[in-house]
């Protein structure tokens, strides 16, 4: 009887010790849980104008460092090519994306091969300027058509932030849509976002370099008082979208290979390659 009692005690102790050992794997620390409960916000900045672009990027980088805010910067390829410091100004907390080479409305280009070259050349210019591999994209003017998924897939781009109510991520051979709410920062005050009801979908707040960095500084100083969790594109998607420190010389020319133009009877080049968009929503 005494032996049975001892065995029971030992069994209980083993169970208790086992639970104590594995429970940290299932219990989320309070600080992390609090962060996860916050409204996610992604700040994006587009470098569209070449005049003063280098100084603007340096000032923006300094501002982001002051507030310790991650962000995502999209740079037009020809500006990155002419002014590499627009890319090199930003540290590891900032994702760098491309926005075509000439900031051209892709839907105005009827020739698929030329359209693909515009996207690939834009990414190549940004990558060469910053010694990196950028996998995030935004279409100029938010203008896309049925070719966009094929264009991005063939350009080794994994995330697309061209839209007002969504972003798209390449997963398992197709682009998947995720809901989001995008706003032009110049059209809203920080208090609009602070007082807005929290949603599960992220907020994307966009600026470009026609907006003064002093104005952005004032905006961010107020915005940081809100209950937000700031993320860059990589943090939002959960995949590294900017790979830095590639062994590439600053002046090295990146060769851009453009695939054959799709057949005229292909309604959707992306579908012919097995890429399907908007297969599920989260």
Q: What is the model's pLDDT at position 276?
A: 42
Query: Global pTM?
Result: 0.78
Q: What is the model's pLDDT at position 14?
A: 52
Q: What is the model's pLDDT at position 37?
A: 82
Q: What is the model's pLDDT at position 36?
A: 57
Q: What is the model's pLDDT at position 25?
A: 52
Q: What is the model's pLDDT at position 39?
A: 98
Q: What is the model's pLDDT at position 245?
A: 78
Residue ranges for the chain with pLDDT beneath 70: 1-36, 246-282
User: What are the chain's domains?
Assistant: 32-247 (3.20.20.370)
* DSSP letters spanning the chain: -HHHHHHHHHHHHHHHHHHHHHGGGTPPPHHHHHHHHSEEEEEEEEE---TTHHHHHHHHHHHHHHHT--EEEEE-HHHHHH-THHHHT--TTEEEEE--SS---GGG---HHHHHHHHHHHHHHHHHHHTEEE-EE--GGG---TTHHHHHHHTT--EE---SSEEEEEETTEEEEEE-EEEEGGGS-HHHHHHSPP-SSPEEEEEETTS-HHHHHHHHHHHTTSSEEEE-HHHHHTS--EEE--S--TTPPPP---PPPPPTT-S-HHHHTT--B-S---
């Amino acid at each position: 009887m005494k032996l049975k009692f001892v065995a029971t005690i030992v069994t209980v102790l083993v169970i208790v010790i086992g639970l104590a050992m594995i429970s940290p794997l299932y219990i989320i620390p309070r600080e992390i849980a609090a962060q996860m409960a916050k409204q996610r916000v992604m700040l994006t900045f587009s470098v569209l104008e070449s005049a003063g672009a280098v100084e603007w990027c340096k000032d923006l980088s300094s501002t982001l460092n002051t507030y310790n805010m991650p962000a995502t910067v999209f740079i037009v390829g020809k500006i990155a090519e002419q002014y590499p410091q627009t890319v090199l100004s930003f540290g590891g907390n900032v994702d760098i994306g491309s926005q075509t080479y000439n900031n051209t409305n892709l839907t105005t280009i009827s020739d698929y091969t030329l359209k693909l070259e515009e996207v690939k050349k834009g990414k190549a210019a940004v990558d060469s300027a910053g010694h990196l591999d950028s996998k995030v994209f935004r279409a100029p003017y938010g203008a896309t058509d049925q070719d966009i998924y094929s264009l991005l897939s063939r350009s080794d781009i994994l995330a697309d932030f061209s839209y007002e109510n969504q972003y798209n991520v390449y997963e398992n051979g197709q682009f998947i849509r995720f809901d989001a709410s995008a706003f032009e920062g110049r059209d809203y005050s920080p208090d609009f976002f602070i007082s807005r009801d929290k949603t599960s979908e992220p907020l994307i707040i966009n600026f470009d370099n026609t907006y003064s960095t002093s104005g952005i500084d004032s905006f961010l100083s107020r915005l940081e008082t809100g209950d937000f969790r700031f993320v860059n594109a990589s943090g939002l998607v959960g995949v590294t979208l900017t790979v830095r420190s590639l062994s590439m010389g600053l002046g090295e020319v990146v060769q851009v290979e453009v695939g054959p133009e799709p057949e005229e009877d292909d309604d959707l080049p992306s579908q012919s390659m097995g890429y399907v968009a908007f297969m599920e929503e989260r």
